[in-house]
Amino acid sequence: MILYRKAAPLRIRRASAPAPPFWCATTIAPYAAKRATPIAVDYVALRASGAEKLEVTVAEHVRDDLERAKQLAPPVLIDAAEAAEVVFRRGAEALAFCERDALFLTSTHGALPDSNAATVAIAAWPPHLARLEALFTTARGTWGVAVPVIYPVTTDLALLDALAELAQKHGASFFAAVAIDVEATAKQALARMLDLSGDDDRYELLFHAAVEPIHIATERHIAALAHARGMHDFILPPRWNERSNWNAAILLTLTASRMIAMEHDLDLAGLIARSARAVADLDKPLTRIAEAASLGIVGGLDDVSVDILTEWLNGGEAGFAGYVNEQWRLFRGTPNEEFRTQNAE
């Protein structure tokens, strides 16, 4: 394997509203997307592709680029996944610039930041349990596990159960799924990696069937595993405990996206998603509006979103959002496995 190192400007991308799975307003990527073999996972585009060689494009002047950029809207995602961070530490440079507002993304072959001020998401790809446990053992501050859902590797129930156990054992705050679009080149690499033959059922599903239902069922199973073990079932953004407009938009978007994935009341889900974008665009803090009047005066908010946000701002659990989350958490295992896990709480 040959490592090609090329210089490139720092990639900065901004979002006008939060989106799963990372919920961030600004994404900083000091490395190019293709950076691992045999399967490269792009966590910004949420896509897996096959890669025959390791090619690393590295930003040279991270701090200078960040200082020249316009104000970085928080929360910030720093995509420092894969082995390039171990060598070049460009993600750590970006983190030093905005650590309290940052979600630092690393992975199995990556490196943890020295600071414990940022929130850290450890992507469990490739899912090598020994290496991941070493990272879990040394992780500090608020951290958790992001599981890229890629059939047939990270859809395996025994593997997911083992990952959840390790995450809980070492104090993870969240255990969450990351939906990944698997390209044809990645499927070919998976078949070679797993030595799948044409008469293998997994080969048939991988190439000749729609695996999206399996992926969605796995996302729901991961949420159930997290909840049963006392962890959040979505990636926590920095400062999630604050009642900010951005966090309010995250709450609504999370609810809407899960309704859409379950095909539950799609019209209402669309209204809630539009309300989330309206909240993200507000100039005035929701807390100030709620103190002066009902949130119903905010243009673009539907009645259900008003109820969700009012309960959330008052420090309680948003009833309808909680109901959707309960419906979302669905074990893929047998009834005996589900009963055993629930009673282990």
Decide if pLDDT at 69 tops 50.
yes
Mean pLDDT of 101-123: 94
pTM for this model (two decimals): 0.92
Specify the length of the chain in residues. 345
- The model's pLDDT over 284-338, given as tens digits with 9 standing for 90+, comes to 999 999 998 889 999 889 999 999 999 999 987 789 999 999 999 999 874 334 4
In this structure, what token pair is assigned to residue 5? 């190192």
Short-list 106, 116, 66, 62, CA closest to 84: 106
- The model's pLDDT over 150-199, given as tens digits with 9 standing for 90+, comes to 999 999 999 999 999 999 999 999 999 999 999 999 999 999 999 998 88
Pairing between β-strand 143-149 and β-strand 119-123 as defined by DSSP bridges: parallel
Short-list 207, 39, 214, 22, CA closest to 119: 22
In this structure, what token pair is assigned to residue 133? 């446990």
Q: Which domains does the chain have, with CATH numbers?
A: 4-228 (3.20.20), 245-328 (1.10.150.110)
Q: What is the pLDDT of residue 270?
A: 98
Short-list 158, 101, 107, 164, CA closest to 131: 107
Mean pLDDT score of the chain? 90
Short-list 44, 46, 6, 5, CA closest to 28: 44
Residue 134 to residue 114: CA distance in whole angstroms:
15
Q: What is the pLDDT of residue 139?
A: 96
List the 47-50 sheet strands across, edge first: 39-42, 47-50, 181-182
Decide if pLDDT at 282 tops 60.
yes
Mean pLDDT of 214-222: 97
